[in-house]
């Protein structure tokens, strides 16, 4: 069972009230798969070969297993979006809003996104207090009957979800290293299966964080879901922009499909994965969480450029001159997601020290019985 099914924190939802069951998924399934494929192929040769990382070579039966594990990681890239159709309300409540964050609502609540706490429960307390103190900046409550998952009043949990997945992956790597040395082959193989699952699931949310419409209140048009914001530049208010940018199969692959953007076309533009800095910070905040949050803040700054490209007709992909000119922008966002994912996977692996508690248990298990 993955971390996603065991999170004990309260998942957050969109501040803006909606008359639809949930917001659209981020990126299409093929694009999520492409992000994870690019990230896997960016990893160095010292990354565990059982994951199917391209540079990590395995031979014989191990190579077949690595190939199967690689395919499982890529398969799981889209899995969290399937959970959003669950009829089990508590499950949806715990998972739905890990896909997004309405970043502007933090500022409206008096919280600096660049200094936000990595502790999600503390953040919710601060957010609730800030929202109450600045109630005039938020939409009026809507119909409670439509909030069947009890999520609408919250801004989203995406950065915290990615950070939690990173921590889970690092712990699995620590346990794997320990079981390889002090445990059995079967125990090490079990941890390999957990690592593969966590890499695939984690990659989905990292991919979500690179879709600008998943880190903003302007996720389905500039004026959407009751959130009233100035629109002096006349950006579109049509909700369908989200699915079109995602590459929705329901829209014929959307812009991504029409523009022919794939992992293969993007591979030459990828850079090798680089480890994130984990140096202690003066503010004591977790450095990996800060890196994730900084990434989300940077993608939020791409929201208005995205809407401007749309206004100029550069996402139409209808055969008219300039209608594919938005392609470099979308390619850039996908590459950003893949680069961050590769960096997080690599950092989790290299920062995973031995699990000393588990080691002591396994050593004791091996000791001769009196």
CA–CA distance, 232 with 18 (Å, rounded to integer): 23
Residue 118 confidence (pLDDT): 97
Check: CB of residue 233 under 8 Å from CB of residue 310.
no
CA–CA distance, 274 with 344 (Å, rounded to integer): 9
Every domain of the chain and the residues it spans: 3-45+79-366
Compute the average pLDDT of residues 132-139: 90
Min mean pLDDT across 92-96, 98-102, 338-342 is at 92-96
pLDDT at 9 over 50: no
The pTM of the full predicted model, rounded to 2 decimals, is 0.91
Tens digit of each residue's pLDDT (9 = 90 or more) over 250-302: 777 899 999 999 999 999 999 999 999 999 999 999 999 999 999 999 999 99
Tens digit of each residue's pLDDT (9 = 90 or more) over 319-332: 999 999 999 999 99
Cβ count within 10 A of residue 332: 14
CA distances 42 to 195, 202, 261, 276, Å, are 18, 16, 18, 14
pLDDT at 7 over 70: no
Share the mean pLDDT of the chain: 89
Tens digit of each residue's pLDDT (9 = 90 or more) over 41-62: 999 999 999 999 988 877 888 9
CA–CA distance, 252 with 261 (Å, rounded to integer): 13
Residue with tokens 């004026």: 223
């Amino acid at each position: 069972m993955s971390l996603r099914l065991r999170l004990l924190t309260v998942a957050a939802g969109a501040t803006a009230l909606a008359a639809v069951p949930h917001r659209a998924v981020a990126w299409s399934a093929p694009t999520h798969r492409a992000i994870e494929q690019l990230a896997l192929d960016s990893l160095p040769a010292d990354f565990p070969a059982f994951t199917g990382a391209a540079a990590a070579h395995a031979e014989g039966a191990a190579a077949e297993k690595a190939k199967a594990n690689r395919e499982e990681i890529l398969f799981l890239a889209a899995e969290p979006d399937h959970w959003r159709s669950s009829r089990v309300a508590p499950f949806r409540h715990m998972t739905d809003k890990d896909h997004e964050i309405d970043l502007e609502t933090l500022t409206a609540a008096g919280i600096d996104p660049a200094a936000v706490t990595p502790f999600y429960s503390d953040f919710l307390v601060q957010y609730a207090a800030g929202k109450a103190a600045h109630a005039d900046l938020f939409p009026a409550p809507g119909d409670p009957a439509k909030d069947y998952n009890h999520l609408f009043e919250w801004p989203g949990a995406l950065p915290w979800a990615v950070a939690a997945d990173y921590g889970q992956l690092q712990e699995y790597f620590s346990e794997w290293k320990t079981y390889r040395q002090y445990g059995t082959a079967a125990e090490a193989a079990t941890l390999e299966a957990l690592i593969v699952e966590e890499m695939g699931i984690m990659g989905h949310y990292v991919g979500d964080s690179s879709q600008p419409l998943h880190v903003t209140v302007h996720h389905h048009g500039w004026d959407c879901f009751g959130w009233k914001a100035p629109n002096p530049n006349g950006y579109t208010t049509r909700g369908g922009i989200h699915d079109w940018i995602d590459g929705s199969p329901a829209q014929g692959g959307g812009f991504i499909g029409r523009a022919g953007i794939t992992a293969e076309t993007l591979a030459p533009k990828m850079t090798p994965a680089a480890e994130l800095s984990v140096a202690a910070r003066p503010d004591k905040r977790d450095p990996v969480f800060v890196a994730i949050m900084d990434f989300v803040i940077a993608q939020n700054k791409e929201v208005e450029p995205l809407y401007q490209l749309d206004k100029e007709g550069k996402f139409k992909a209808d055969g008219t001159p300039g209608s594919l000119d938005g392609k470099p922008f979308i390619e850039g966002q996908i590459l950003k997601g893949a680069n961050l994912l590769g960096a997080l996977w690599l950092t989790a692996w290299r920062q995973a020290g031995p699990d000393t508690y588990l080691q002591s248990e396994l050593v004791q298990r091996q000791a001769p019985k009196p």
